[in-house]
Amino acid sequence: MKEQKSYDAAAGKVAALEAQIAEARDKAGDHVRLLEKVKALKATAAAAGASAIATGMTLGDSSDWQQARKELYAAEESLALSEDSAEAYKARIDDLNDQLHDARLTLKDAAKALTEAQHDEACKAEALAAQAFLKAGDDFYAAHCALAVTIDVRIKLRNKITGLPEHIGGGYPVEIYLPAPGGSTFTREQLTRRPPNALKGVA
């Protein structure tokens, strides 16, 4: 049904936006991770410099200090480049969050419309099942009355053979009450049946 397609499309859009937001947040997190890296490299460089000075070396002669400074410069350069990227991702996250808010509202409406459509279909199915049930009851009563006729004919013929009055032994009762199936909403009047018009009076 069209409501199902609308719901699936809305759910798919929400899922896609959530995935894009997660990816953007991860990218924005790169800048934070670079900040932590620069902080750690500064500490490493400072420790290497202090160690070199403590041993009487100049900083220029300390390979550990030089390596730490090299890594620090590279990290600081990457950090500077990532600032604009981080701001761009933050702006993208804000935009995606706005889209996600609207998409979730659309999904909520689509879910409501789908539930209502499913309820309408369930009502139609219930009505058809009720019609089939009542028709089966009518068919049963028609067959029931036909059986009563054959029994009545047989008994009358038997009584004729045995010399008994025609009505002795009776016919077969044609009225019957069918109990409502569990959970049904049929009324007693709907379930209480009489013989079809053409067979009324047969007993």
Percent of the chain with pLDDT over 90: 30
Instruction: Quote the CA–CA distance of 130 and 186 in Å, as a whole number.
Output: 8
Identify the helix (H) or strand (E) that includes residue 192. Answer: strand 192-193
Q: Quick one: pLDDT at residue 184?
A: 46
For residues 37-42, give the mean pLDDT. 81
For the chain, what is the domain count? 2
Neighbours of 152 (CB within 10 A): 19
Same domain, 78 and 137: no
Q: Quick one: pLDDT at residue 59?
A: 67
Same domain, 116 and 171: no
Same domain, 45 and 117: yes
Percent of the chain with pLDDT over 70: 77
Same domain, 38 and 122: yes
Q: Quick one: pLDDT at residue 138?
A: 87
Dump the DSSP string for 82-149.
HHHHHHHHHHHHHHHHHHHHHHHHHHHHHHHHHHHHHHHHHHHHHHHHHHHHHHHHHHHHHHHHHHHH
Same domain, 156 and 121: no
Residue 159: pLDDT band (50, 70, 90) is: confident
Instruction: Quote the CA–CA distance of 34 and 42 in Å, as a whole number.
Output: 12
Same domain, 83 and 16: yes
Count CA within 13 A, CB hemisphere, residue 41: 19
Residue 169: pLDDT band (50, 70, 90) is: low
Same domain, 153 and 62: no
Instruction: Quote the CA–CA distance of 140 and 121 in Å, as a whole number.
Output: 28
Residue 129: pLDDT band (50, 70, 90) is: very high
The answer to which of 27-31, 70-74, 156-160, 165-169 has the lowest mean pLDDT is: 165-169
137's CB contacts (< 8 A; 6+ apart) are 178, 191, 193
Same domain, 111 and 143: no
Domain that residue 13 falls in: 2-127
Residue 60: is its pLDDT beyond 80? no
Same domain, 22 and 85: yes
Q: Of 94, 127, 160, which residue constitutes the final position of a domain? A: 127
Q: Of 78, 99, 127, which residue constitutes the final position of a domain? A: 127
Q: Of 72, 104, 127, which residue constitutes the final position of a domain? A: 127
